[in-house]
């Protein structure tokens, strides 16, 4: 991979990782248009590894929140009288809510990294999940805040999150935000929960690929462009996080829903027309 492609893919990852539009779907589409085999071991590993740049941006952005939640959880482990705080509950929620995506990811790893990386799957998931997002955005009152999060809420959000690696195009953030809205959280809280739930999952996925597919990356994509794309994704993702939180504080998710449907239809048109192959 040349450096220009690495920078471009890093930008795509950084912009789309936390927006409910599917970063994996966008990366697969752009990779395909650039002439890469999206279901190859090297490109699959590259796609997972550069997500680490975006997730590090989330860790930096929410560092104070992460330290507070971790401190509250540790305090609860040490002292039983510290277990009635929102941070104790949220800490357990994030831990237990991360289990479903880990189980699904490991159980279906071969399919996720192979046959399911298909533009037809991505197009269908983009369009069909948009309807779920519309229902979540329109039919919830959204009165609950961060202090109202329960372990049950986190487990349900975690189960929704587990759908995203199986069907690229659903979008991890789209799945978790939708779940949060269905649980009655306001849009900002649902979005923040999406970030918190995504940090363990994405760090684990990227770390696993970096370790197990290091040689494949080295002989296919190359580690230099992979590192470049990861660094670019960090800076772009940081700006994307700040923008998204500001946007959802005063807007619905309609713009994202319309964009997802339009992109899905464009992909279908390109494949039917023979411009790109699935």
Tell me how far apart the alpha carbons of residues 278 and 273 are, in angstroms, rounded to a whole number.
Answer: 12
Tell me how far apart the alpha carbons of residues 157 and 211 are, in angstroms, rounded to a whole number.
Answer: 28
Residue 273: the pLDDT is 87
Residue 244: the pLDDT is 95
Sign of the torsion formed by the C-alpha atoms of 141, 147, 151 and 156 = positive
Within-domain flag for 277: no
How many structural domains does the chain have?
1
Within-domain flag for 243: yes
DSSP letter, residue 185: B
Q: What are the percentages of helix, strand and coil residues in the chain, rounded to 5?
A: 80, 0, 20
Within-domain flag for 278: no
Within-domain flag for 17: yes
Within-domain flag for 51: yes
Confirm whether pTM is higher than 0.95: no
Residue 243: the pLDDT is 96
Name residues of the chain where pLDDT drops below 70: 112-115, 140
Within-domain flag for 56: yes
Residue 160: the pLDDT is 93
| Beta-bridge mates of residue 144 | 185
Residue 270: the pLDDT is 87
Within-domain flag for 58: yes
Which residue segment(s) compose the domain that 190 sits in?
3-272
Sign of the torsion formed by the C-alpha atoms of 278, 223, 231 and 178 = positive
Tell me how far apart the alpha carbons of residues 201 and 52 are, in angstroms, rounded to a whole number.
Answer: 10
144 by DSSP, 3-state: which?
strand
Report which of 22, 21, 252, 247 is spatially closest to residue 135, judged by C-alpha positions: 252
User: What would you measure as the largest C-alpha separation in the chain, in angstroms?
Assistant: 64
Residue 208: the pLDDT is 75
Within-domain flag for 180: yes
């Amino acid at each position: 991979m040349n450096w220009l492609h690495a920078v471009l893919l890093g930008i795509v990852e950084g912009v789309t990782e936390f927006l409910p539009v599917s970063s994996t779907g966008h990366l697969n589409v752009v990779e395909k248009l650039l002439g890469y085999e999206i279901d190859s071991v090297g490109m699959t590993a590259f796609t997972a590894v550069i997500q680490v740049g975006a997730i590090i941006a989330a860790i930096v952005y929410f560092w104070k929140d992460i330290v507070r939640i971790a401190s509250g959880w540790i305090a609860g482990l040490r002292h039983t009288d510290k277990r009635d705080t929102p941070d104790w509950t949220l800490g357990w929620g994030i831990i237990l809510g991360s289990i479903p995506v880990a189980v699904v990811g490991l159980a279906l790893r071969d399919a996720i990294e192979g046959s399911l990386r298909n533009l037809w799957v991505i197009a269908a998931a983009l369009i069909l999940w948009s309807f779920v997002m519309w229902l979540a955005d329109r039919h919830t009152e959204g009165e609950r805040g961060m202090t109202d999060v329960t372990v049950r809420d986190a487990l349900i959000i975690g189960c929704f999150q587990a759908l995203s690696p199986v069907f690229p195009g659903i979008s991890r953030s789209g799945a978790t935000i939708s779940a949060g809205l269905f649980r009655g959280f306001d849009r900002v809280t649902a979005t923040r929960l999406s970030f918190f739930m995504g940090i363990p999952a994405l760090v684990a996925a990227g770390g696993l690929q970096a370790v197990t597919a290091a040689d494949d990356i080295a002989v296919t994509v190359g580690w230099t462009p992979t590192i470049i794309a990861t660094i670019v994704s960090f800076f772009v993702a940081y700006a994307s996080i700040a923008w998204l939180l500001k946007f959802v504080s005063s807007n619905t998710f309609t713009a994202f829903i319309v964009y997802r449907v339009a992109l899905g239809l464009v992909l279908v048109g390109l494949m039917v027309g023979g411009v790109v192959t699935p």
